[in-house]
Structure 1
Amino acid sequence: MLDSLPWPWPGDDGGDQPAPQPRNFWAVYDDGVISQLTVTGDGIDPVLSRPGRLISEAEYLTLQAKMLADQEARVAGLLAAEAAQKMQDYTALLTVGIPETVARRLSSYTGQAQAVSSGES
């Protein structure tokens, strides 16, 4: 099967020239996405697939660190809101007289037990 492939490869003049080394480029697109591109070939510059600009590796790393920090902060906020909602649901279930173990299961609350008065005298 490999015998049917052209040899030498098209464009290969059989010379002893070393293969071109890959070169890395970094880009930021107009929508805020960052990207690393690798181009193999001497004198070939990358062509961006959508509107954007090439940036330095240092700028890329700075933008990447900011994006990761923003994402971590967003996830932390979402987790805190979810924990607060679970506690609120748990407390509400206890308030209406649902047993503590059932309130935990229904609300998915895993924190400390809450002392809640049921409002009965």
Structure 2
Amino acid sequence: MSEHTLYYRNANGSVSRVVTSLDADDIRVQGGTVQITEAEYQEAYAEIQRVNEEGKTELATADRERHVEDYEALRAAGIPEATARRLSGYTSDGDM
């Protein structure tokens, strides 16, 4: 029997694909998992990737803001610039 790909939406909203030579009826899946089409899988996967990228961007922005705040607080406390940059992780060459 030749291999083929089956696509599933899991109960938690994630999606998965299985490359198998078994029939779909012979595949054991967790409760709440349903078989979907490749197009549904691709659409859901793209949305999951988009949300993940959005989350990474938000985390990077928050991290950058924290570095700037830490740097500014250290400079306000009289810490030399090079030391403040090193301690805070602030790396921008822009004016503060």
State TM-score, norm by structure 2. 0.90
Which of 62, 66, 73 is the matching residue for 1:81? 62
Which of 67, 76, 80 is the matching residue for 1:95? 76
Which of 50, 59, 67 is the matching residue for 1:69? 50
Name the Cα RMSD after superposition.
1.2
State TM-score, norm by structure 1. 0.72
- After TM superposition, list the pairs within 5 Å mapping 1:15-94 onto structure 2: 20-41=1-22, 44-45=23-24, 46-51=26-31, 52-94=33-75
Code of the aligned partner of 1:76: T
Higher relative contact order (CA 8 A, sep 6+): 2
Q: CA offset at residue 39 of structure 1?
A: 2.3
Q: Structure 1: 5+ residue runs without aligned partners?
A: 1-19, 115-121
Tell me how many residue pairs correspond in the alignment: 93
Q: Which has the larger radius of gyration?
A: 1
Q: Kindly indicate which of the two structures has a greater share of residues assigned to helix.
A: 2
C-alpha spacing 1:48/1:33, structure 2 compared with 1 (3 Å): farther
